[in-house]
Amino acid sequence: MGMPYEVQGVIARGKGEAVSLETVLVPDPGPGEAVVNVQACGVCHTDLHYREGGISDDYPFLLGHEAAGVVEAVGPGVTSVSPGDYVILNWRAVCGDCRACKRGRPWYCFNTHNAAQKMTLSDGTPLSPALGIGAFAEKTLVAAGQCTKVDPAASPAAAGLLGCGIMAGIGAAINTGGVTRGDSVAVIGCGGVGSAAVLGSALAGASKIIAVDIDDRKLAWAREFGATHTVNSAAVDPVEAIRELTDGNGADVVVEAVGRPETYKQAFYARDLAGTVVLVGVPTPEMTLDLPLLDVFGRGGALKSSWYGDCLPSRDFPMLIDLYMQGRLNLDGFVTETIGLSQVEEAFAKMHRGEVLRSVVVL
């Protein structure tokens, strides 16, 4: 296979090393694959986790995975997309045939067909694309099943965000939590993912949306996405505050979007006895949760984790983009800044300092 495309891409070469902008060779698409001209790609925590070795040791990585762009070329047998199509990329090209797929839970597909490791550095070193995407690059090679066509009028910076964190948050509320009209919802941790859960809850008609964070900047943003109440949990006990705001009952749905034991616990106790806890914050391997069994037994409802917002890209991306185009879904509010490929390292630092919901690379 030739390497017809020579592009610039953001590479993580080793554990904790600052990323660098390097030449990436992208092959022609093989069977079932597509090459996409990336137009925008958000900076997500997972990219930083790759750089830090938290996900795999398979360096070098081509980072970036929250992206939208235009299909440049497709390989043999691809019928779902064509050159010129405007697409959002997803990190789960589902097989449609495994037990999870057949039982209607494709987000747990055991047999994903993401892009293989075919892109290389200019010296031929194979690159591992982050989450099978690698979209901090002018072009990237993906499986055709990772491309979902959406309305081409949608701004790439906003559309790309549905490819990961913002979909995870909206889906945690709507798909996993089943938030519906009149529900009370509490969201613990209002970064990009939690704020998206606030937005999803507002979209679903929740009557009370309580945003909880330790950072007042995040709480101000959460209000813009539809929070009706805010609680700074550095100042007050969030479980008591949520109970007070829900007539002593606790919330119908509590979304945890931090990924720490203390906030998992708060989510557990802040829900109504028959309420649902949705865990979307990702813990680290050494974290454990210590709960009295009698409390687990004594509460009905449900304790659920949300995987990629339990989304079905072909169902959810076009629907959410239509709502965005109608002015009913504020995706632009997540784009704190747009940057170039050379500024990803700076964006990691801003993310670390909590200054942004999302920095988005625009090409």
> What is the binding site for Zn ion (CB under 5 A)?
44, 46, 94-95, 98, 101, 109, 111, 164
**Which residues, 6 or more positions from 294, have their beta carbon under 8 angstroms from its beta carbon?**
none
Nearest distance from C-beta of residue 35 to ligand APR, angstroms: 28
Nearest distance from C-beta of residue 253 to Zn ion, angstroms: 23
Beta bridge partners of 9: 22, 137
Instruction: Choose the contact partner of 142 out of ligand APR, Zn ion, none; CB within 5 to 8 A by kind.
Output: none
Interface with ligand APR in residues 144-173 (CB under 6 A): 165, 168
SS3 label, residue 283: coil
Q: For residues 98 and 186, give the distance between their C-alpha atoms in angstroms, rounded to a whole number.
A: 35
Q: For residues 305 and 264, give the distance between their C-alpha atoms in angstroms, rounded to a whole number.
A: 11
**Which structure tokens are listed for 345?**
């390292």
Q: For residues 222 and 348, give the distance between their C-alpha atoms in angstroms, rounded to a whole number.
A: 21
The length of the chain is 363
Cβ atoms within 10 Å of 303's Cβ, excluding its own? 17
Assess 280 for contact with ligand APR (CB under 6 A): yes
Q: For residues 97 and 103, give the distance between their C-alpha atoms in angstroms, rounded to a whole number.
A: 10
Smaller CB distance to Zn ion: residue 46 or 266? 46
Rounded to the nearest angstrom, the gap between the alpha carbon of residue 298 and the centroid of all alpha carbons in its chain is 33
Instruction: Choose the contact partner of 257 out of ligand APR, Zn ion, none; CB within 5 to 8 A by kind.
Output: ligand APR
Assess 257 for contact with ligand APR (CB under 6 A): yes
Q: For residues 21 and 9, give the distance between their C-alpha atoms in angstroms, rounded to a whole number.
A: 6
CB 274 within 8 A of CB 301: yes
Give the residue, chosen from 109, 193, 245, 312, that forms a contact with ligand APR under the rule CB under 6 A. 193
Assess 190 for contact with ligand APR (CB under 6 A): yes
Nearest distance from C-beta of residue 18 to ligand APR, angstroms: 20
Assess 246 for contact with ligand APR (CB under 6 A): no
Assess 215 for contact with ligand APR (CB under 6 A): yes
Nearest distance from C-beta of residue 184 to Zn ion, angstroms: 28
Instruction: Choose the contact partner of 199 out of Zn ion, ligand APR, none; CB within 5 to 8 A by kind.
Output: none
Q: Give me the residues that bind ligand APR (CB under 6 A), please.
A: 45, 165, 168, 188-194, 212-215, 218, 233, 257-260, 262-263, 280-282, 354
